[in-house]
Each structure stands twice: as structure tokens, then as C-alpha cells.
Structure 1
Amino acid sequence: MLKKMTLAVLGLTVSSMAAAGMYSEPPAPTCTPGDVTVPCEAKQWDLGIQALYLQPIYSASRGYRLGGTLLSNLSSTYYNDVDPDWGWGYRLEGSYHFRTGNDITATWMHYDADSKLGPYFGPFYVATTQTFIPGTYRQYVDNRFDQVNVVMGQHVDFGLLKNARFYGGLQYADIQVDATNYYNLPLTVQAATFGIRTFNNTDFNGVGPVIGIDYSYDLSPSFSITANTAGSILYGTSRINRADVYNVGLVALNDYGSKHSIVPSFEAKLGANYAYPVAQGVLNIQGGYHVLNYFNALQDVEFQCCTRVVAYSDFGLYGPYLGLKWVG
């Protein structure tokens, strides 16, 4: 009889504990160092600015200019690599941090730099007579680039020294490359035209999803190595406008085209971060190297004998950056 009563009491106890577990509060997120954890709940803001010193880079026909050719044999041609000038840009950043490592972040990257290139050598195609004449020219290029990201992120700690931030959201990009060629042609042509210049302008603007990872490895409580990689696929419009203008007021050639495009992009950074505690938070000093590339974002017109063929070119930027970010 005693044995049966003991078993009954144990059964009731186990049932009560199980029922209590079913209706109890779930455990709070951990914030102790371990294999994979998230930060403790906090509400913070951060503001950052970076100075960028970048050089543009192109592909396809925009990456080459004629270096020389034999007019008697147009197949014998050599090309010079287009080497645009370096220029300054900036990147602004603002974030709101909430819950256990979540954030909403907006960034704006802006770049606007001019290049004076040449002289380049080679024949000039005369549209009115469909012939080539020898000449040289200098090229002036204006590169303008804007990129805006609005993303949500999640901070994750991998042990005591490693942490990462995974993010995703929307990206908008506006790329404009305006090129003007000023030709030095034979005197007979100069006398008839009072000079010739060629416009070759192209642009792309689009929007689409972006995902990325910010990674850091702490070498000390204040100093860390940082890396970032991101990718996007944008849908937008790509345009091309090319015109030959004689200074007597004649537009001898005018090509224009516009099309919808899907443009993927890739972005990467490698750098370092120094965290300096201040009265109202932490001031981070950042520096490193930054590269990005938009694939087939731009258009160009290639002259092949007496036809004009539209080609595509990447647009890239690369160079060092230095900045400050306050978190508090």
C-alpha cells in the first residue's frame, strides 16, 4: 500500500512540473560569451562620415582609347589604357540600434571627379562622308556616382574575439559618365568646321535588393581588423547619347538609346578600427581599402568600319578611405 502511495505522489509531482514548464516564460536571450550569442538588449544611435579617395575604372571600349593606327590598314591598331584621375568622395552613415543586436541603417556614398586624358591618336570617323581622317584628341570625362542603402542588420558574436553583422535591404545607384573629345584635325578640316568635338555620355540608375556582411576580429579591446562584402541586383534604366558637333553649329552625328537593364554589383572593404571611449559613447576611427564594381552598367558606341555598334562597360571605383563613427 505504501509503495502504491509513493508512486502516486511521484507521478503527481512530475505532472505538476511538466505543466509548469509548459506555461512558464521562455528563457531570455543570452548575452554571455560563448560560441554564438547576440548582444544584450540596448538602444543606441550612431553617426559616421568617411573620406574616400577613389579612381574610376571601366571595361570594354570605354577602357581603351586608340593609341595609333595605319590608315592604309585599319586592322593594324594599338590601344592605350584609359587611366582616369583620382578624386575625392564621401560616405555618410546613420543607424538606430535596438533589441538584441538589431539595427536600421541608412548610408549615402557620393563621388564626383573630372579627368583630363590624352592625347590619343588615331583616325576620326567623318559621318557625312563615311571616311576616316588622321587626327589626335584629348578627352575630358566627368564621373558622378551616388549610392544609397537602407538596410536592417543583426549583430552576432562568435566567441570573445570575432563578431559579424548580417544585413539586407534596398540599394539605389545613380551612375553618370560624360565624356567630351576635342579633336586636332588637318587644317583643311579645321577651316571647314572651326573645330570638332564629340560627346559620348552614358548613365544608369536603378534600385534593387542588397545583402552583406560586416566582420571584425578584435586584436585588443580597442583595436580590430574589419572586412565587409556586399552584393546587389538592381533593375533600372541605362542610356547612351553620342554626338559629333562642328563648331559652325552643325550636328553631324547624333545617336541616342535607352533600355531597361538588370545590373549586379559587388562591393568589398578591408581595414582597421580603433575604438576610443568618450564621455557620451565610443568614437571609432576607421581606415582601409574599398572596391566596388557595377557590371555592364554603362553603354558605349563602337565604330566598326562604317557601322556603329552598342557595347557595354562595367563601372568601378577603388581606393583608400578614412573616417569617424560615433556610437552612443
Structure 2
Amino acid sequence: MTKFKKTSMSLFVIGVTWLPSAFATNYFAGIDALYLQPRNDDLDYVGVFNANGSFRISNLDPDFQWGFRLYTGKGFNNNNDVTLSWQHLHSSNSGDTLGGLDSPIFPKWLFVSIWQNIHGHATFDYDEVYAVLAHTQNFQSPWQVRYGFGPEYARIHSEVNVSAFNLNSSIAVGHSDASHFNGIGPRFEGNLFYNLNKSLNVFINANTALLIGDRDVSLNATDKIDNTSKIYSGHNTVVPKVGFQLGINYSQPIGIIGGAGGVATTIDLQAGWQTETYFSAIEHAEAGIIGGEGASLLTTKTSNYNNQGVFLGGKLRTNCL
């Protein structure tokens, strides 16, 4: 995993430093507050046989969580710019299902029994880092187009815990299912701007990346006396990614020294909606009983990782450096 981090940081340094500083016309830095909901299709943790003979499956439902995006870069007088960005999101959600004498319960990876309580817990840790060299094309109209490319690194760690308590013991048994992906690859992005007036514009951003990395999968027993763990061999994998943003930007100059050719500083305020999807990024053990021969027969399946929600942030641009 470390090799991908070292490679990505080397590429970022190259991308930032190879451009001649004599062409720089401004520097910028910004921060966005993110309010995102992580999504995954493999968050079922228990099945319940109801007294009327029906069967239902309970899933963990992640809530919206706060994250952030930090970015910086510099622009050049030929309408090129280089940008370095880091986005981070951590989420943690739990769920409980109560049983009874008339409701046999099937916890994920455990056997059907008269369990008293089933507790499920899911966490996601997501980081995205990229460096992009881009060019902005100005038209004789309100429209502007920006397009660029560069390296991207992503880390997606997912963990699902299922614990079960029976009627005669206060000791929980269960498993912790972990999927750790780290990858790096080429990123391409495009931005479309429509200027409503001198200070206000709306924008649509789209990006895609093809990440090559490794993924480790494990199913660990929380009570190793009564349960069996299974470590799946790590393997290389390819994860495609797409992302979109729709937002509005307001620009306000806050300082000009020395007339038109002097030092200028501008604050940009941005707000909007975004979504990102990493295809087949998460791999978990399928539902089934683990233990004895079942430990070697239990297979895995992949699922997508997505987060979507709103962003609100600000950017400072200046040519005083």
C-alpha cells in the first residue's frame, strides 16, 4: 500500500514544480465544507424470521457526515493552471435488531438461533488526492471551458461489524469484515462555466479516473474461541471512478494596489451539489455461515462506493506573492 502513496506524492511534486515560475500570474487556495452521505449496496447485517412466517433483511443506513476538501495551486498568464487537492470523509453508523422466542434471527456470517440482540456497525474512510494541469478556454460569450489531466490517488476503507448476543450469555460473538483499497491512476476533468454577470457564474464540473491498486479483504472473528476468521489473499484490481459537481460561484475583489497592473486579491464563495462513484471498489464476504468447512467455501463479492451531498466553501486568489 505504501508504494502507491510514495508514487502519488512524487507525481504531485513533479506536477507542481516543473512549470517555470516566471509564467505565474496568481496563486490560490481554498477549502470546502462537505456534507455527504456515503452509499454502498452491501450493508445488510441480519435476517429475521417473523412470527407470521415472513422473512426480512435489515440493512445499515449511513447518515450524512461532514468532510472537507483542501486545495491550492497557481495560475499562469497563458490561461493554464496547476491544482493540488485533498478530499476526506469519515463516516460511522450503527443499527440494532431485537429478537425473541418467536423470532429466530440469522446474523450475517453466523447461524440461525434465538438471538437476543444483533448489533451492526459500518465505517467508511475515504481520501482522494490529485494534481491536475489544466487550460481554460475563453469564448466571446458568457461561456468558459476548462479541461485538464493529472494523477489521482484514492483510499477507500470499509468495515462492517456484526455482533450477536444470545439469551443465556452476555458475551457477544460475531465478525468484522474489512475491505481496504488503495489505488493511483490518470485523472481527466472538465469544467463548464456560464457567467451571469461580472461577479456571478454557475458551473458544471465532471471528472473521471482509472485507478490501479491493491485491495485487502478479511473476515475476523470478534470472539476467536467460538468463531473462525478468514483472511482473503490481497490482489491487484482496477477501479473506474466518475464524479460530478453543480454549483454557483460569487467573486469579490478585496484589494487592488497600483492601478490595473498592481496587486489584486479576490475572494470566491462557492456552493452546490456533488456526487462521486467508485465502481467495484469495495469487496466483502458474502452472507453465509463461517466455521469449519464453511470458512474455506465462503466467497466474496464486490460493490460500488458512492458519496453525494452538498458543498460550501471559499477560495482566495492573489498575485501579490
| TM-score (normalizing by structure 2) | 0.79
What letter is aligned with 1:79? I
1:320 paired residue among 280, 303, 310: 310
Larger radius of gyration: 1
How far, CA to CA, are the matches of 2:249 and 2:109 in structure 1? 56
Structure 2 counterparts to residues 1-12 of structure 1, below 5 A: none
**How is 1:168-187 mapped onto 2 (pairs within 5 angstroms)?**
168-187=149-168
* Separation (CA, whole Å) in 1 of partners of 2:25 and 2:69: 24
Question: SS at the partner of 2:286?
Answer: strand
- 1:107-164, Cα deviation, whole Å (9 max, x unpaired): 000111211223377314777xxx5324341212221111001110000113321101
Match in the other structure for 2:25: 43
CA distance in 2, matches of 1:119, 1:79: 10
- Correspondence 1:265-280 to 2 at 5 A: 265-279=241-255, 280=264
Contact conserved, 1:236 with 1:260, CA < 8 A, in 2?
yes
Partner residue of 2:48? Answer: 68
- Please say if residues 107 and 118 of structure 2, whose CA atoms lie closer than 8 Å, have aligned partners that are also in contact: no
d(CA) in 2 for partners of 1:125, 1:215? 46
Deviates further, 303-312 or 259-268? 303-312
Residue 108 of structure 2 corresponds to residue 144 of structure 1? no
Task: Tell me how far apart the structure 2 counterparts of residues 229 and 125 of structure 1 sit (CA, whole Å).
Answer: 38
Change (3 A) 1:159 1:259: same
**Deviation digits for residues 77-123 of structure 1, max 9, x if unmatched?**
43334311221110011111113111111000011121122337731
Cα displacement (A) at 1:210: 0.6
Distance 1:250 1:142, change over 3 A: same
Q: 2:174 aligns with which of 182, 192, 197?
A: 197
| Residue 42 (structure 1) shift | 6.2
The answer (yes or no) to whether the contact 1:118–1:138 under 8 Å persists in 2 is yes
TM-score of the pair, normalised by structure 1: 0.77
Give me the whole-angstrom Cα distance separating, in 2, the residues matched to 1:56 and 1:320.
12
Question: Which residue number in structure 2 is paired with residue 243 of structure 1?
Answer: 220
Per-residue deviation, 1:57:
0.2
Root mean square deviation, CA, Å: 2.3
Residue of structure 2 in register with 1:232 after alignment: 209
Does 2:232 correspond to 1:261? no
- Do the aligned partners of 1:66 and 1:77 also contact (CA within 8 Å) in 2? no
SS at match of 2:137: strand
CA distance in 2, matches of 1:147, 1:226: 21
User: Once the 2 structures are TM-superposed, how far is the Cα of residue 63 of structure 1 from its aligned partner?
Assistant: 3.7
Asked whether the equivalents of residues 60 and 94 of structure 2 are also in contact (C-alpha less than 8 Å), the reply is no
Q: 1:8-157 residue pairs with structure 2 within 5 A?
A: 43-59=25-41, 62-69=42-49, 77-119=55-97, 122-124=105-107, 131-135=111-115, 136-157=117-138
Seen in structure 2, the aligned counterparts of structure 1 residues 256 and 70 have a Cα distance that, compared at 3 Å, is farther
Unaligned ranges ≥5, structure 1 = 1-40
CA deviation vs aligned residue, 1:202-260 (integer Å, no higher than 9, x gap) = 110000001011111111111111110000000001111112222xx526211112111
Describe the shift of the 1:308–1:235 C-alpha distance in structure 2 as closer, same or farther (beyond 3 A).
same
Identity %: 23
What is the DSSP-based 3-state SS (H/G/I as helix, E as strand, rest coil) of the residue aligned with 1:266? strand
**CA 1:303–1:101 in 2, change beyond 3 Å: closer, same or farther?**
same
User: Could you tell me how far 1:172 is from its partner in structure 2?
Assistant: 0.1
What's the offset of the Cα at 1:321? 0.5
Q: What amino acid does structure 2 have at the position aligned with 1:85?
A: D
Q: In structure 1, what is the Cα distance between the partners aligned to 2:85 and 2:148?
A: 13
The answer on whether the counterparts of 1:242 and 1:254 sit within 8 Å (CA) in structure 2 is yes
Deviation at 1:183, TM superposition (A): 1.4
